Structures are given as C-alpha cells and as structure tokens.
Amino acid sequence: MEGKYVVIEGPIGVGKTSLATLLSKELNARLILEKAEENPFLTSFYKDQQRHAFQTQIFFLMCRYKQQQELAQQDLFKRATISDYLFDKDRIFAYLNLNENELALYEQIFNLLDARITKPDLVIYLQADVSILLERIKRRAREYEKELPSKYLEDLNEAYNHYFFQYSESPLLVIQTTSIDFVKSRADLDDLIKQITLMKKGTQYYIPLSSR
C-alpha cells in the first residue's frame, strides 16, 4: 500500500468514514475526511431540497476542491493516503438534486475544477440495502440527518449503483456490506483488508461469505 491513494465511496450511512479511519490505522496511512457537517446549508436542504439544493451543492464542491488541492501538495508517493470520498461523486448529488439551469452552471464550474484533481489508485465502493443505510444513519444520530427522507436515500442509492456500474477511471473494488460489520468484527475487517491488498486492475466485486 506504500504510496497508494485509496478512496472509499458509497451512499450516506454505508460506512465510508468508519472504514477509512480503520484502514488508515491498520495501514499507517494518511487520512483525508470530508467535512460534511461544516456545510451551513445541509440542515435546510434536508427540510426543503428544491429550495436549498444549489447552494448546498456548490458549497460542497468548493470545499472538496480546496481539500483536494491541499492533498495534491502533499507527497503521495512516500505514504499511502486514505480518503472517505471521491471528488467525482459530487456530480452524483448534483444530477440528483439540481434543476436543468442549475445543472448547466454547475457543470461549467465542475469541469474547470475536475481537471486539476489527483485521480486515486483505487476506489472502494461500499454497497448496502437502503434498510441497512437507514439503520446506520439512525445509529450515528447526526442532528442534520434527522430530516433525511427515505425516498431520497433510495434515489441516492440507485444513482450510486448506476454511476459505479459505468466507472472506469481507476481500479474499482465493489464490496457488498449489508451483512457484515467491519467496525465490530475483526474477522470482517481483516477479510476486507485482504481483498483490498490483493486488488490490482479493472473492476472486481466482493461479496463476503457471511452475505452469501
């Protein structure tokens, strides 16, 4: 894993930050976490998505870009880096939340920024059933997620699956997490780490034994 830039992705509540934190400790890697709670529009967005979508999206886009620029200034070749988000994923939310005019303006901004972003050596896409996502979101009890509609989560989960079904910019490891708990189970975590370290090129799908 030395010198590798690994990104963990998936819908809200799937366990991105938890896995990124665990992997950074296990692999002695630099940890880059998204700061979603710093978005001042997020609570308002979950209450009225149509009204607050554009400012919420642009705030996320600029924050993610700033963080990625800081990452690009670091030496990625000496130490592995683990991040709990993929910069490109911003477009998943944009296409889900913005109207046609907002999306046209968003695309102009995104394309200017995306050309300057460091691409990961590996993307890990975590999947889970919506019922599991809702359970995990409820368990972590973040204040701004209390207004999160289940229909929005269903649409988001579908959008993620569609996006990563076509993804080819980096090697991709798809992991079904519905029936495992890598936070509480050491065996589940060790098995995940084994799959990650064996990953090389292309796209691979991993369904843990406990899910079969």
In this predicted model, what pLDDT tens digit does every residue of 185-203 receive, in sequence order? 888 888 888 888 888 888 9
Helix (H) or strand (E) holding 105: helix 100-114
Query: Could you confirm whether 155 is annotated as catalytic?
Result: no
Residues 6+ apart with CB under 8 A from 100: none
Mean pLDDT of the chain: 87
Of the listed ranges 37-41, 72-76, 81-85, 97-101, the one predicted with least confidence: 72-76
| CA separation for the pair 187, 171 (Å, rounded) | 25
The pLDDT of residue 148 is: 81
Does the domain formed by 5-211 have CATH 3.40.50.300? yes
Residues 6+ apart with CB under 8 A from 25: none
Mean of pLDDT values over 76-91: 85
More confident residue, 73 or 101: 101
Q: How confident is the model at residue 3 (pLDDT cuts 50, 70, 90)?
A: low
Mean of pLDDT values over 33-38: 84
| Under 8 Å between Cβ of 60 and 110 | no
CA atoms within 13 A on the CB side of 86: 27
Residues 6+ apart with CB under 8 A from 114: 87, 88
Asked if pLDDT for residue 50 goes beyond 80, the answer is yes
- Identified catalytic residue from 84, 90, 188, 191: 84
* pTM confidence score: 0.89
Task: List pLDDT tens digits, range 139-191.
Answer: 887 777 777 888 989 999 999 999 999 999 999 999 999 888 888 888 888 88
